Amino acid sequence: MINFTQPAFVKFYLQKKAWILPQFRDYILKLYSQLVDLIIKKRKGGSHNTQEIEHIINGYTSGAIPDYQMSAWLMAVCFSGMTPEETADMTMSMVHSGKMIDLSSLGKFIMDKHSTGGVGDKTTLILAPWVASIGVPIAKMSGRGLGHTGGTLDKLESFPGIKLSLTPNEIVQQVHDIGLVICAQNENLVPADQKIYALRDVTGTVDHPALITSSIMSKKLACGANGILIDLKVGDGAFIKDEHQARALANLMIQTAAIMHKKMEVVMTSMESPLGKAIGNILEVKEAIETLSGHGPDDLTQLCLDLGIRMVMMSEKTTTEDDAKKMLTESLQTGKALQKFKEWIAYQHGDSTFVDYPELFPEAPVKMPVLAWSDGYIEKISAMDIGLASVITGAGRTTKTSPVDLTAGIKIEVDMGSIVKKGDVLAWIHSSSQEKANGAVHKLEHAFVIGQNPPKARKIILDHIM
């Protein structure tokens, strides 16, 4: 029996509706007019069943449900919420809107990792090859940056020639061959999420936990992973500012994963200050290479090690933290982690020469120092202000279609608690023009707080939820 709610049929109807018998035409129009009833139901706090969720997701993906109706439904969700069961149904409907990658033939436990985004967060570039280098396969679908949070795909495009849009067969083959793949979302993989997220971005419906969960989980499931580690950033420079809200989101994601029989852990990490010293695409790639060479910033190295330990244990390669730490430390010290990074870049057609010779990366033509205006301790480095300043330099984008300057960004020269004297360099601004650099300076004046008291020790990992 034909299912008239499926995207393929609706698309055919929209293109060829003159050929459809009137009774079928009237049936479809009536079917999709029912969304008004579903909007009202959700607005009043009701719950949707599986068929209703499928109806909404399939209809919008196919184009039968217009933006204005979907926007109203998304806003109703923001007001009334969704149950874990509804969230799981929405996630699976989004997964089934495109192709799914089947990695079961590889006979291995496949790990995925997701970060909710932050300032200087280049953990994926470090963590994925590091964990893969000890025999834990990684398959991950990544995104681009928006606003003050950087995107993994933008950073990877620092390597000339790199191929990020892969077919399902290419993804399976790459995991088989080198145990690591990071690719872009495309029209074949979770198209519903692409379309819905674009709408959420312009309708003020981005930050609802159920919508965040379905967006993250749909991409994870479509990519075929067995286990998922979520690095949930919290604080000044993060998408989520409040620990209570972050904990609620973490619990919802774990409940949803359990309903879908997937293994998931959430690590809540602080984003009050930037992670590492580099903010900006090429600058962050260089810092990732330094870290994989054993010379990265302490905070970044330690966080990646802690997250890596969780991933290794989730994969059941070992049952103890000490063994996982030993394996990862040995990989870093012997150069295996860096070699896996180089192998990965080369496999996806990127120029891996840049891994051995980072000085080959192009540099911004304008470099401007930010100088300390008084003596004292660095009491605070605001992640949000640093992130916003990086956008002014050209390193970030204000809309999804905005270009980014891969050479732009900020390189911080001090740590929390550093003692500085007036005139010392706090940071370097990298930009394509003096005008942009001047604009970033004004924002950076608020990013650094110089006081007379040393700050408390910074705590990066806030909690571990499973």
Catalytic residue positions? Answer: 114, 193, 200, 215, 219
Report the phi/psi class of residue 179: left, alpha or beta, with left for phi > 0 and alpha for psi in -120 to 50: left
SS (H, E, C) the chain: CCCCCCHHHHHHHHHHHHHCCHHHHHHHHHHHHCHHHHHHHHHCCCCCCHHHHHHHHHHHHHCCCCHHHHHHHHHHHHHHCCCHHHHHHHHHHHHCCCCCCCCHHHCCCCEEEEECCCCCCCHHHHHHHHHHCCCCCEEEEECCCEECECCHHHHHCCCCCCCCCCCHHHHHHHHHHHCEEEEECCCCCCHHHHHHHHHHHHHCCCCCHHHHHHHHHHHHHHCCCCEEEEEEEECCCCCECCHHHHHHHHHHHHHHHHHCCCEEEEEEEECCCCCCCEECHHHHHHHHHHHHCCCCCHHHHHHHHHHHHHHHHHCCCCCCHHHHHHHHHHHHHHCHHHHHHHHHHHHCCCCCHHHHCHHHCCCCCEEEEEECCCCEEEEEECHHHHHHHHHHHCCCECCCCCCCCCCCEEEECCCCCCEECCCCEEEEEEECCHHHHHHHHHHHCCCEEEECCCCCCCCCEEEEEC
Are 227 and 314 a contacting pair, CB within 8 Å?
yes
* Tokens describing residue 458: 């910074």
Are 272 and 237 a contacting pair, CB within 8 Å?
yes
Q: How far apart are CA 177 and CA 71, in angstroms?
A: 43
